Amino acid sequence: MRIKRKPLDDLFSKYIRLKAENRCERCGNYSKKLDCSHFWGRGRHNVRWDEENACALCCGCHTYLGGNAEEHRAFFLERLGQERYDLLQIRANTRWDGDEEAVKLYFRKKVSELKEAEE
């Protein structure tokens, strides 16, 4: 069953991709069509909009890591380091009690800041 996308998912994805400046965070290739890739899937609400749980990947890297769970785990472990990876795992396994509206305001501000920095 697919997780229904919310407007906040689109905003979060935009932020992650803008932050990467059109470069795949795995291979470094330039692409205008990056995907927002989650380590823990969007069904885990506690980390659905967590910046440490997502990165911008080109289609090739996203597809590859999506089909290779151990390499996907190793990529995020290397990216975050053991302590941050362990904390992300704890957050992923914790019940969601957050406020989507507050998260939306936060990412609107972050997207606005990145766009201003581009100009």
Q: What is the pLDDT of residue 14?
A: 96
Per-residue pLDDT reduced to its tens digit, 3-62: 888 999 999 999 999 999 999 999 999 998 999 999 999 999 899 999 999 999 999 999
**Nearest-angstrom CA–CA distance, 94 and 87:** 11
64 pLDDT more than 90: yes
- How buried is 23 (Cβ within 10 angstroms: 0-12 exposed, 13-18 middle, 19+ buried)? middle
84 pLDDT more than 70: yes
Task: Report residue 80: phi and psi, to 5°.
Answer: -95, -30
**Nearest-angstrom CA–CA distance, 47 and 51:** 8
Is the CB of residue 13 less than 8 Å from the CB of residue 33? no
Q: What is the pLDDT of residue 1?
A: 65
pLDDT band at 115 (very low <50, low <70, confident <90, very high): confident
What is the helix (H) or strand (E) element at residue 37, kind and residue range?
A: strand 35-38
